[in-house]
Amino acid sequence: MTTTHFFSDTTDLTGRSMRHITRSVDTIITTAITPIAIMLLFVYVLGGAIDTGSDSYVTYLLPGILLIAIASGIAYTAVRLFTDLQSGIFERFHSMPIARSSVLWAHVLTSLVSNGITVVIIVAVGFLMGFRTSAGPLAWLAVAGILALFTLALTWVAVLAGLSAKSVDGAAGFSYPLIFLPFISSAFVPTATMPGPVRAFAENQPVTSIVNSIHALFAGEPVGSDIWVALAWCVGILALGYLGAMAVYRRRIR
C-alpha cells in the first residue's frame, strides 16, 4: 500500500466523518457548553474567593477549561468509532482496496478538527469575559501546538476505548476521569495551596505541566522546564495510545 494511497484514503474517510459532524453541529456546541458553564461558575460565583495571584481569574482559568473541553470532546470519537464497529461499516471498508489504518486516522483527524473548533469557541467566550494576553504570534502558535498534541494523544486513547468497549456507555465513560483531572492540578488554584498528598499528585500529573506552560505563554513569560515535561507527557501518552489502539485494531480485523 503506497503512501499516496494511504493519504488519499484517509482524506476521503475524514471527509465522511466530517460530514457527520456538520450534520450534527450540536455535538460541538454540547462539548463547548459544559466547559463554558464551568468557566462562568468559577469566574462569576467562586472566583472572588479564590486567590491565584492573578489580576484576572478568567485569564488564570482559561487553559484548564480548554483541557476539560478537549477531554470531553474526545469521548465523541470513541462513540463514533464504536458505532461504526457495531453498524458493520468497518467490514465494508475492509472489503475495499483501502489502507486499513486510514479508517482510524480519519476518526483521529476529525477529532482534531472538531476539538479545534470547540477551543476557538471557548477562547472567544473567554475574551468576552475579560481574558487578556500579551502573547505574540509565536506564543499563540506554541499554545495551539500544545493543545493539538494533547488532543492527538487523548484521541488515540479514545480510539483504544472505542475499539475495546462493549457498549456506547463504556466507549464514552473512559473520558470521565480525564475530564476531572484538571480539577486536581494548577488549572483552578495554585498547587501550593493544596494539602501535601494532593499537592504531590497535582504537581506530578500531565495537566499541571501543560497548564503551567500555557499560562507562561499567555503571560509572555519564559516557560522553563514545564514545556518539556508537558511535551514528554503528551508524546508518551500518544505513543502508548497509538500502539495499544493499533494492536487491538489488528486483532479486530483478522
Q: How confident is the model at residue 1 (pLDDT cuts 50, 70, 90)?
A: very low
Q: What's the whole-model pTM score?
A: 0.89
Lowest mean pLDDT among 28-32, 98-102, 133-137, 207-211: 98-102
Per-residue DSSP letter, 174: T
Which pLDDT score, from 0 to 100, does residue 3 have?
Answer: 57
Which pLDDT score, from 0 to 100, does residue 183 have?
Answer: 92
Closest CA to 105 of 27, 20, 13: 13
pLDDT above 60 (res 2) = no
More confident call, 209 vs 171: 209
Which long-range contacts link 185-188 to residues 24+ away (Cβ below 8 Å)? 185/64, 185/211, 186/64, 186/211, 186/212, 186/215, 187/61, 187/63, 187/64, 187/65, 187/67, 187/68, 187/211, 188/42, 188/50, 188/61, 188/64
